[in-house]
Structures are given as C-alpha cells and as structure tokens.
Amino acid sequence: MLLQDKVVVVSGIGPGLGRSIALRCAQQGADIVLAARTESRLTEVAKEVTDLGRRAVTVPTDIASEEDAARLAETALSSFGRVDTLVNNAFAMPPMRSFDRAPFDGIRNGFETNVLGALRLVNLFRPALEASRGSIVMVSSMVIRHSQLTFGPYKMTKSALLAMAQSLSTELGPKGVRVNTIAPGYIWADNVKAHFSYQANKRGITTQEVYDEVAASIDLRKLPEPDEVADTIVFLASSMASAVTGQCLDVNGGEYHH
C-alpha cells in the first residue's frame, strides 16, 4: 500500500493510461480526484475506484479553462482537505504535420493544454502540495527522444512540459515538493490498437504483424501496457522515490535509450 490514505489528483481520465493511473493508485491505498472533459468516462472510472474500497470524486474539467481548473482545485480540497500528488496526464494533440504546414492555431491549442494547462494546475495545487510535502508527475512522451517527420509540434509541447517540470523541481524542492516526468513510448491501449488496425488494413496485413514490426525495435519486444506505465507513476508518487526529483523516467520497453 504505497499510497495509503494519500489523495491523488489525475487529469486526463480516459479509457487507457488515465484510467490505469487512477486504478493503480487506488489499489495502492489512495483516494482519487478524477478530472477529464468527458463526464461519462469519469463516472465509469469512479465506480471502479470505489469498487476497490477507495473514495473517488469526479470533476468535469478542461484544464485549458481557468474556471474549470479552479473548480477542480476547490472540489479536491473541499472533498478531502488535502492533496498529496498531482498527475498531469491531460493533453491535446497538436497538428501532426511539418512546421511549414501546421496551423498556428493548432500548435497554440496544444501548448494551451499540454503546457499552460499543466502549469495552471500546478499553481492552483501548489499550496496544498507544499502543505503535504507532496509530489507532481508530468506525463510527457518518447517524442522528446526523436525527431521524426510531422512530430515537430507535438515534440515542441512535450519538450516544453519537461523543461517546465525541471524548473518547477528547483522552485518547489525547498518546500519538500518533488516534481518528476515520465516519457512513455507506445502504450498498448485503445488509441494505439486502432492505429495499428488502420495501418494493417491499409497495408493488407494483420494487426499482429504491425505489432510485431514495432515490437522488433523495442528491447523487451513488447509494447508497455497502461498498467505498467501507471506503476511507474505510483513509484514516483510514493515514499520509495523520496529522493527523486527533477528527473524524467522513460517508460518505453527500451525503444529509446536516454
């Protein structure tokens, strides 16, 4: 029970990693504040959390909205009286195009959620996290480790998120608050499964063949499951990582080395 009686706020609750983060934290003893734009997803995951014997509060939230973000912080504190960990998992995908073809509005929207939205939550929860000597985990991406074509706008937002996390670690460290980042690679969840299926149909091969091609470039020869990525977040949120801050831990099965 690494997070026994802790309160964890998770943004970006969805069917993949967001859900796994919430449930793995609950399995380790935490009560969960669930935030996402889609209320039906929040309701589903909240039931799974309470079925594990932990408390769950749902707050429909667009973290790019100051009003929504403020309501999230107010609800979390009024419900539990404390916050021990903030997991910034919410993100918006910028245009997957080369920079000369990417509309600035799309890039700007990506920054608004992926970077400024995350910072907005950090600032709102800062007093509570300082009081609990808590932790923050940012969810970045392995995109920061490569420069593949069309990934530029996405890499730019996730790289900015990492730089922000490192600076926040320096700011908040004297207050006892740890700030770390994870950089997952492919995660074998609904979005990647759908993408692999699309690629398979386009090329006239099976989804398993697409999977095997990708896995061949990964040291462990498998794509990480959502729970495996979430367990890394549990570790960083726990006292087992009490001396770890300002770090970025890659969770990609060895696809990239850093």
- Known catalytic residues? 141, 154, 158
Give Rg (Cα) of the chain: 18
CB atoms within 10 A of CB 201: 12
